[in-house]
Structure 1
């Protein structure tokens, strides 16, 4: 390129430079005009109203739903990508995943308790009279089952070798029964050493639990038999008949569900063979 050509190109370059600077200044001016005033406050004509802000707000229920859906999707993706043989031990960090889930559950139950306390306030009766024994003395509802075990006097055996007399009094017999029942409850975790997480994985122990829960309910009803509109002898029979029936029914149902349920539900977690 000759020297004369360079001289001819210089003005053009200057014009382009000047034009570029002008365009930059115009863009900066437009941006400054569109930007909010100092302090981050938008102009009055662009400030959203309260109703507009309310329509843009995402509620807690929607946020919680989106979080659970995202967690489920990420968990599924991790499990599909993993090639661990025994079991995929995958999870999320406590913050913010587990914390959000736990707070959602805690908030639900606290809200329910607050609602019940506000709508169904407890009745405060007359103060107790220390000089008069109440007609009916009952423990708190969660101790009715152990109170019912004290009323198993009809099961206290009478020994012929003692002339038809009982080996121990009904009160002592009730205390012994309490010790036996509580001891059985305490020893169950040592007898069941499996790692099942669902009742269908171990139908026997699940049915044992159902039997115990139903027995706790029926023995509680027996402890307040004077308040029940059922004949005492019928209530006494149902106390020991209903729990085994409930246990057998639950065992049969879980046993019939176990084979297909274990394979279909856990095929993402275990490397299983198809059920035979």
Structure 2
């Protein structure tokens, strides 16, 4: 025979038959009671911890919403173990499983060995370094000084290295300039536009680095590399700016119960 303690831990209920409020044990979802087979499958290991984590999070969130008059940004603090560890382990296992499946089902193609006696026609780094490789090709922006007889003060490769340092420095200084607490782009349109500008510029400069493979004339591609980021930044700023007033009113109305304008 099982005592009352074991029954309470298994069913997630108190002696009166009510669901446990502390989140301990397995709590059945609303309108659904797990079968004996499901309980046995969740009896140990990662499935049980994952199930208890999501059920406890759901129940505590539900209790908080029932006790609160208004809820907009409830932040529930869970301990690192087992809640955060179980969630991170479940997500990590999922993505590792996808990578293993792709590696087994779609192995990468191994091409012919390189010829050390012949220089390839197109030399490109790995795809995630295209943007940096594109900055090394900014020779047209390197000014030719008349005082030096039309020659350049810096070599094109040195100019490209300085451009890499400037871009990386700009990215590194942004967190120190933007110290706001915004959680959505619409709350700070300017910095959202800066982010859109940076992402667009990363794509355009990456395309410029592989200009030999892009079916556009080099001059037009060079112009689009610096024009499209500004266009995308201005459009995103205008869109977020137009949405901000209505968004902030709706947010304040939920927080402070403001009456809508007549």
| TM-score normalised by length of structure 1 | 0.66
Task: Within 5 Å, give how 1:1-276 maps onto structure 2.
Answer: 56-57=37-38, 68=54, 71-72=57-58, 74-75=60-61, 77-78=63-64, 81=67, 90-262=76-248, 264=250
Q: Aligned residue pairs: how many?
A: 219
Which protein has the bigger helix share? 1
Structure 1, residues 7-47: CA drift from partner, whole Å, max 9, x if none? Answer: xxxxxxxxxxxxxxxxxxxxxxxxxxxxxxxxxxxxxxxxx
- C-alpha displacement at 1:275, in angstroms? 8.7
Rate the CA distance shift 1:163–1:204 in 2: closer, same or farther, 3 A: same
Q: Is residue 253–residue 259 contact of structure 2 (8 Å, CA) maintained in 1?
A: no
- C-alpha displacement at 1:115, in angstroms? 2.9
Q: Is residue 252–residue 258 contact of structure 2 (8 Å, CA) maintained in 1?
A: no
Structure of larger gyration radius: 1
Q: Is residue 197–residue 232 contact of structure 2 (8 Å, CA) maintained in 1?
A: yes
More divergent stretch after superposition (190-199 vs 230-239)? 190-199
**What residue number does 1:43 align with?**
none
Q: Is residue 159–residue 167 contact of structure 1 (8 Å, CA) maintained in 2?
A: yes
Q: Is residue 201–residue 258 contact of structure 1 (8 Å, CA) maintained in 2?
A: yes
Distance 1:120 1:103 in 2: 25
- C-alpha displacement at 1:129, in angstroms? 2.8
| TM-score normalised by length of structure 2 | 0.70
Distance 1:97 1:141 in 2: 36
**Gapped runs of 5+ residues in structure 2?**
1-34
- C-alpha displacement at 1:76, in angstroms? 5.0
Distance 1:219 1:275 in 2: 47
Distance 1:275 1:150 in 2: 55
3-state SS of 2:100 partner: helix
**What residue number does 2:25 align with?**
none
Structure 1, residues 92-125: CA drift from partner, whole Å, max 9, x if none? Answer: 2233332332233223322332232233211111
Structure 1, residues 200-237: CA drift from partner, whole Å, max 9, x if none? Answer: 22221121111111101110110010111111111111
Distance 2:58 2:148 in 1: 68
Q: Is residue 78–residue 90 contact of structure 1 (8 Å, CA) maintained in 2?
A: no
Rate the CA distance shift 1:222–1:122 in 2: closer, same or farther, 3 A: same
